Structure formats: C-alpha cells, structure tokens
Amino acid sequence: MRSSKFTPARLRGFAADIARQICAAPPHALIVIGQAPGRRSDPDRPLDGPGLTRLLSWGPVPRQLWEACACPVNLLGAWPGPDQDGSGDAFPVPEARIVAVAIERHMVNRRVLVLGRAAARAMSCPEDLPLAAWSWVASSHGGARLAVLPHPSGRGRRFHSPLERGRAGGFLRAALTEAWVDCGCPGAKVASQVAVAPTEVMGGDPDLSVGTATTGPAAGTPGNN
C-alpha cells in the first residue's frame, strides 16, 4: 500500500523541486541522485549529513570540490519511514520511479551519478550497469552520461568492501575534477593537476578508478562529454 506521504500530488511536487534544482545548475555540474532524506536529515539539504561525510571520505574528496561542482538531489523529498526489519530506511521504488520519469527530460546530455542500486532501479537503469563506470543511458528524451556508485548509508558498508568504496571514491573525485575543469573557472587546470590521482587512491586499478569506462550501444555520442 502506498504511504500517504507519497500521494500523486506529493510526487509531482518532488519532481518539480528536482527539476528546478537541475535547471538552475550550470551545464558542467555533476547531478548526484540519492534516494530520500533520512529520519533526522533536512529535506532542504539533499545528500547532506553523515552520508555525505562518509561518501567524501572514500576519495578522499574535498568538500569544497563537492560544493562547487555537485548538484545533489533526492528522488523522494521526505523520509519514507523504516524498512520492514527496522534496520534502515525504506525506499519505495515504484513511487520513486514516478519522480524519475518526470525529471528524465531535464537530465538530457548531463553527467549523472546515482547512489545505490535501488535508486538506479527507480531510474530504470539496466541491472547490469557496472559500479563506478560511465555509461550512456538512453531515454525517450535523449540520454545521459550516467554512473552508479554504492549507497553511502551506514548499512551499505556491510555490502561493499573497502576496495569497492575506494574505487567509488576515486571515481567521484575524478568526475568532480572533470566538472571543475569543464567549468573554466580560474585555477581549474591547477586544481586538476594537484588532485589525487584515482590510481593512487586505489593502489593502481586504472580501468575502474579513472572513471572513463563507457558501455552501451550509444557510447561516445555527442552528449558524452
């Protein structure tokens, strides 16, 4: 049964809020899609708090780089409640998918990072998308350059090894650095040169850590930049 929190009108409101945030973000910004606020999170500050601290620690990723180049949004704008066993937060994928479909057209030709497989299912991503690798994901409106990272919840740490978290952190840092260089800000080249190389973070796994892998039939299309 659908939670009363997520009536059709409420979901349309979530989609409208996300669309405004994405449209207000500069073209170079990295769109980072999470699931929903936690019980104690501020719904007006998506992907903030302990989860963000944990995610940035995987790189490590400087918070200033995140704040300058990331546009974080949650598919659901309110806490969904606890999951069935009470060990974490619920995430109703069917309701989240309604929001995802509504915002699809606003992500055409953007770089999009999705946090967690549940959010990826809501975004209708192929189940076989590898973690921490760029893919061109087509949609009825065009497509986006998209990657999936592990979800940074405390519970998620049980399902991802330190190696996987390190790969995800190196990938995130590389993606944000790419966005910073693309913005053309003063000092961007210097920032890209002094950033910790993902292969250093990962101990030398260039294929997974650099963040350039691309899959799918439309790889290398004009939106892949």
38-51: pLDDT as tens digits: 888 888 899 988 88
Q: Report yes or no on 216 lying in a domain.
A: no
Grouping H, G, I as helix, E, B as strand and the rest as coil, residue 131 is strand
Per-residue model confidence as pLDDT tens digits over 120-166: 999 999 988 999 999 998 888 888 999 999 999 866 565 578 888 99
Residue 118 belongs to what domain range? 4-209
Q: What is the pLDDT of residue 217?
A: 31
Are residues 122 and 75 in contact, defined by beta-carbon separation less than 8 angstroms? yes
Nearest to residue 110, comparing CAs of 84, 150, 77, 73?
A: 73
The answer as to whether 224 is a domain residue is: no
- Specify the higher pLDDT residue, 172 or 1: 172
Specify the pTM.
0.80
pLDDT digits (tens, 9 = 90+) for 151-164: 998 665 655 788 88
Quickly list DSSP for 27-54: TTPEEEEE----TTS-TTSTT-SHHHHH
Does the residue 221 lie in any domain?
no
Task: Give the separation between CA 31 and CA 51, rounded to whole angstroms.
Answer: 17
Dihedrals phi, psi of 217, to nearest 5 degrees: -70, -20
| Residue 23 scores a pLDDT above 60 | yes
The domain total for the chain is 1
Helices of type H across the chain: 8-24, 50-57, 63-69, 93-103, 117-122, 162-182, 188-194, 198-202, 206-209
Sheet arrangement for strand 135-139: 70-74, 30-34, 111-115, 142-149, 135-139
* Domain CATH number, residue 163: 3.40.470.10
Residue among 61, 70, 63, 55 nearest 22 (CA): 70
| Residue among 29, 14, 9 at smallest CA distance from 107 | 29
Average pLDDT rounded to a whole number, residues 188-208: 38
The answer to whether residue 12 is domain-embedded is: yes
Residue 203 lies in a domain: yes
Each residue of 53-80: pLDDT tens digit? 999 999 999 999 999 999 999 999 999 9
- Distance, in Å, from the CA atom of 20 to the CA atom of 81, rounded to the nearest integer, reads 26
Q: Which of 136, 131, 158 is nearest to 146 (CA)?
A: 136
- Looking at residue 112, what DSSP letter applies? E
